[in-house]
Structure 1
Amino acid sequence: MDKIEGIAFELMGRDIYIHSTVINSWVVVLLLSIFAIYVGKKFKEADPKEKPKGLVNIVEIIVVQVEKLVKDTMGPDKMKFAPYIGTLALYLALANLFGLIGFAPPTSDYNVTLALAIITFLLTQYFGIKSKGIGGYVKGFFEPIPFLFPINLIGEIANPISLSFRLFGNILSGVIIMGLLYSAAGYFSPVVAPVFHAYFDLFAGLIQTFIFIMLTMVFVSMAMDD
């Protein structure tokens, strides 16, 4: 019998299987939720008249940098997207770094990356229509010349596919390479593996996080602007 990576159980006569990547995704959400509650409590207890320190200072720096990134990329009139972009960045960063502690990164599952890409796609379409109106939105597919309508339509549909596969492919390839490395290195794995973990999990994970949030901001901003 093949080894099951996750939880398998029977419900109403049907076999239900939850993959470990989905479970790890729930763990990431739970950890971030606990962190948010704890940080919120710390901010309420902090004295606004005093200079922030410790965790409060670190979180404040992160918030400021996220807001600056959104302002520079999308414009000062789109700061309402900063909370979502910040949340997305924290989720992706933590999810991509899960390989460092020996767990399967949630983003190595295409279901997870596709779900995130679909959220970006829906945001793009919703705010595009809201900003330009249905007429202006549809008109954009026929510009600069009506002949390009099929290409523009395919390009719009391809965005979530390319966005999801880019993140999924990079993270999954790192997981596969690390698995092969552990098999080949054997007893020498503790000596060799940390260097590759630093690249595939730490460096590549953070780079892919940055790319995903940047593309999300670019897609939404382009849909809203003329």
Structure 2
Amino acid sequence: MALAPISMSVNLQEELQKQLNIDEVFGFDVNGVHIGFDESTVVSWIIIVAVTILAIFLTRNLKVQGEISKRQMILEMCYEKAEAFFKTIMGPKVERYIPWLMSMALFIGVSNMIGLLGFKPPTKSMQVTAAMALTSIVLVEYCAFKDKGVLGRFKQFTKPVWIVTPINILEVFTKPLSLCMRLFGNIIAAFTIMELIKAVPFMKFGFPVVFSLYFDLFDGLLQAYIFCFLTAIYLQEAVEEEEEEPKEAKKMRKAQKKAEKLAKKQAKKQAKATA
């Protein structure tokens, strides 16, 4: 009887190790250099092809005038809702990147849920989440340098005071790391929890399906939302203008200081005269 928990833990460990390993699907050698394509890469290609075919099918025969179909109505409603959401976060300078954010959200969402079809989610691989995070941060820095110029961008690292410059520079590297590790960690955690639930004998009857609705569907979509939401915030921060005090307010403040100084001088003179 004592061997049963040990056996179950060993089987669970083997199953987790098997599922977490990203095996090579195919590869070839070029001048002695092996080029391999693993499961995460191949599944990513499958997702891209499937989503592209679906997009072509759904966007066929769209109308600009006249009566539109229910399919077009639903598509337009979904796009307008997503666009309105991102516009509440992003300013006009970076609104043109909203379609890119939508595409990223769609890819991450499908990648997180594709495990329901028997595939290994690409987001279970660190290289996939790292690549998406780096792509996002490269776009953020491109927008920052384009909007503020090279000198303006480097000057921004010295705000609010020059002493925090190293911290601001370090933030450029910590942002993609946090995006990568957050997405990767949540997907791995959800998968591990599901395997633990399946390993419990009395939980095999119906309960995994209920938990799968949360971890594979809701949590998968939630992680796609968080990733794109943070990227949208980073884009807006990159081009955000610093609030400067109006010139008239500066003049008024200077005039007020001068008046205060004159009043103090007059008060001192009056005090000396009365003394």
Normalising by structure 2, report the TM-score.
Answer: 0.74
Q: 1:50 aligns with which of 67, 91, 101?
A: 67
Offset from partner CA, 1:18-53 (integer Å, 9 cap, x none)? 33222211111111111122123242xx46311441
Aligned to 2:220: 205
RMSD: 2.2
Q: Tell me the secondary structure at the aligned position of residue 18 of structure 1.
A: strand
**Does residue 68 in structure 1 map to residue 87 in structure 2?**
no
| Distance in 1 of aligned mates of 2:199 and 2:36 | 27
Deviation readout 1:74-130 (Å, 9 max, x if unpaired)? 024432112101111111111111122232111111111111111111111111011
Q: 1: CA distance between counterparts of 2:178 and 2:157?
A: 19
2:239 maps to 1:217: no
Q: Partner of 1:179 in structure 2?
A: 195
Partner deviation per Cα, 1:146-185 (whole Å, 9 max, x = no partner): 1111111111210000011100110111122223333334
TM-score (normalizing by structure 1): 0.89
- Cα deviation for residue 60 of structure 1 reads 1.1
Structure 2 match to 1:132: 148
Tell me, yes or no, if structure 1 residue 41 matches structure 2 residue 52.
no
CA distance in 2, matches of 1:190, 1:14: 49
Matches of 2:97 and 2:33 in 1, distance apart?
Answer: 41
Deviates more, 1:173-182 or 1:22-31: 173-182
Q: Which runs of 5+ in 1 are unaligned?
A: none
How many pairs align? 221
> Within 1, Cα distance between the matches of 2:118 and 2:95?
37
- Cα distance in 2 for residues equivalent to 1:14 and 1:192: 48
Name stretches of at least 5 consecutive residues in structure 2 with no aligned partner. Answer: 1-16, 242-275
Structure 2 residue aligned with 1:154: 170
Higher helix fraction: Structure 1 or Structure 2?
A: 1
Give yes or no for contact 2:59–2:72 (8 Å, CA) kept in 1. no
1:163 equivalenced with 2:182 (yes/no): no
Structure 1 residues 47 and 78, CA gap change in structure 2 (3 angstroms): closer
